[in-house]
Structure 1
Amino acid sequence: MKFSINHKSPVPLHIQAEELLRNIIKDPQYVNGKFLPNEVDLAKQLAISRTTLRQALNKLVYEGLLVRKKGIGTKVAGTSVSSKSNNWLSFSQEMQARGIPIRNFELHISWVSPEEQVANFFEISTAKKVLKLERLRGKPEGPFVYFVSYFHPRVGLTGDEDFKRPLYEILENDYSVIANLSKEEISAKTADKNIAAKLEVTPGDPILFRKRFVYDQGDRPIEFNLGYYRADSFVYTVESRRE
């Protein structure tokens, strides 16, 4: 396959190279796992420096579209779902914004006595029942995340809500509770038998584990959320800007 860019164009070479790469990785042969041409050959073919080409490659690697294997080459990354830490949307809203169809594989609602860490977060007694919402979610071909949410009794949820609707839309529109602040803890762990069965992985496989602490506009706790993600199907992106 012959690749080229326009050296007479006012568009910077690295931008042209980036656009070319975006088109290349849509080609079925590369989507199916073939390695991209090596940097030296591709740079020569495009008549640009390796530094310019690498600038374009690095951008796509950062976006999770390409993966590099040292000493082997660069190839199209496997399909994964990405979430940005500064994107204040419910899971349903975020996936909808990205055009990713989501299916609920399991949905369980119960009233439980909270464990100590949940009770401490809500500043209530462990004898006070709270609503527990469990959802196994993913793309049509299979689940990739298992959520467990606990809600402060003050919120007013009854358990009769249609939880196919976006969660924070329910809170805001039905109960005038606006989720305003999220604090998160993210770590890697291995899947136990229960989580492995839900996510369709092998016990002991690595998963992404996230705790989310959600507060309303008055900085009062409203949700304690645990998320278990398949490591091979989900990317969590942290974006920071220096002020």
Structure 2
Amino acid sequence: MILEINHESHTPLHKQAETLIRELINKPEYKNGKLLPNEVELSEQLKISRNTLRQAINTLVMEGLLVRKKGVGTRVENKRIFTGASNWLSFSEEMRILGIEIHNFELQIFRHEVSPEAAAFFNIKQGTKVMRLERLRGKKEHPFVYFTSEFNPQIPLSASENYNRPLYEILESDYGIIAQTSKEEISAAAADNFIASKLEIKHGVPILVRKRYVFDIYNNPIEYNVGCYRADSFTYTIESKRNV
């Protein structure tokens, strides 16, 4: 891949370099932890200073996309999957955009007594039966997330839908329900015996827990979702801008 900086552009040189390196590390040959060309070679190819190049690389190191080791070089970090909070999507859509092939290890859907959290979210009585979807998903090497979803009982879901389709596509195409807003809570936890066995990790290992409260276009609550992620395989990024 030929890397070229446009020195006539108004875009800062380090941002251009960052964009080019992002494109480079998405190439198939770099996805297994390959070392980047050394900084001298890269800075000469891009016709920028090493300090400018380091500014670009440091951004990607901070995001966890690259790992720098003294005396070795900078290599692509291939362990983690990154997702962000700026534009939320279904898990299937997130992974498709990232170019990651997802495997379904387990999938169950059944009627179940609503959890206290979902009952409060849907404003329904404890003991009400709702549809509950449980899925264990990941890359072919191993699962990295265990999802549970509970749905508002007003949605006439059954167990006959094809849940290999993206969830929000099912809701929209089959039932005319458009998911629009997601409010999320993110926390760290220690894996209990159940989650540890599902994610193939040891009991007590740190995991990321993401709770998602989903509303439709009329602000009606439609889904309460909890995802438990392997911490060694998943990073959640948040970008914020300050008003100036």
Q: TM-score range with shorter-chain normalisation?
A: 0.7 to 0.9
Q: Which residue of 1 aligns with 2:204?
A: 204
Q: Compute the TM-score of the two structures, normalised by the length of structure 1.
A: 0.82
| Structure 1 residues 152 and 16: CA distance shift in structure 2, 3 A | closer
Q: Which residue of 2 aligns with 1:146?
A: 146
1:48 CA drift (Å):
5.5
1:184 CA drift (Å):
0.3
Q: Which residue of 2 aligns with 1:156?
A: 156
Q: Which residue of 1 aligns with 2:181?
A: 181
1:242 CA drift (Å):
3.9
1:76 CA drift (Å):
2.6
| Structure 1 residues 240 and 70: CA distance shift in structure 2, 3 A | farther
| Structure 1 residues 176 and 43: CA distance shift in structure 2, 3 A | closer
Tell me whether 1:122 sits opposite 2:122 in the alignment.
Answer: yes
Determine if contact 2:101/2:139 at 8 Å carries over to the other structure: yes
| Structure 1 residues 180 and 79: CA distance shift in structure 2, 3 A | same
| Structure 1 residues 7 and 153: CA distance shift in structure 2, 3 A | closer
1:31 CA drift (Å):
5.0
| Structure 1 residues 122 and 7: CA distance shift in structure 2, 3 A | closer
Q: Secondary structure at the match of 1:232?
A: coil
Q: Compute the TM-score of the two structures, normalised by the length of structure 2.
A: 0.82
Q: What is the rounded CA distance, in whole Å, between the counterparts of 2:218 and 2:16 in structure 1?
A: 48
Q: Which residue of 2 aligns with 1:99?
A: 99
1:80 CA drift (Å):
1.9
Q: Which residue of 2 aligns with 1:172?
A: 172
Q: What is the rounded CA distance, in whole Å, between the counterparts of 1:85 and 1:104 in structure 2?
A: 24
Question: Could you report, residue by residue, the CA deviation over 1:76-119 in whole angstroms, capped at 9, with x for unpaired residues?
Answer: 32332121212232111221122211111000112111122221
Moved more, 226-235 or 55-64: 55-64
Q: What is the rounded CA distance, in whole Å, between the counterparts of 1:8 and 1:185 in structure 2?
A: 41
Q: Secondary structure at the match of 1:95?
A: helix
Amino acid at match of 1:210: R
1:13 CA drift (Å):
4.9
Amino acid at match of 1:94: E
Moved more, 27-36 or 232-241: 27-36
Moved more, 82-91 or 147-156: 82-91
Determine if contact 1:216/1:222 at 8 Å carries over to the other structure: yes
The number of residues matched between the two structures is 238
Q: Structure 2: which 5+ residue stretches go unaligned?
A: none
1:192 CA drift (Å):
0.8
Determine if contact 2:30/2:76 at 8 Å carries over to the other structure: no
Q: What is the rounded CA distance, in whole Å, between the counterparts of 1:25 and 1:183 in structure 2?
A: 30
Q: Secondary structure at the match of 1:121?
A: helix
Determine if contact 2:24/2:30 at 8 Å carries over to the other structure: no
Q: Which protein shows a greater Rg?
A: 1
Q: Structure 1: which 5+ residue stretches go unaligned?
A: none
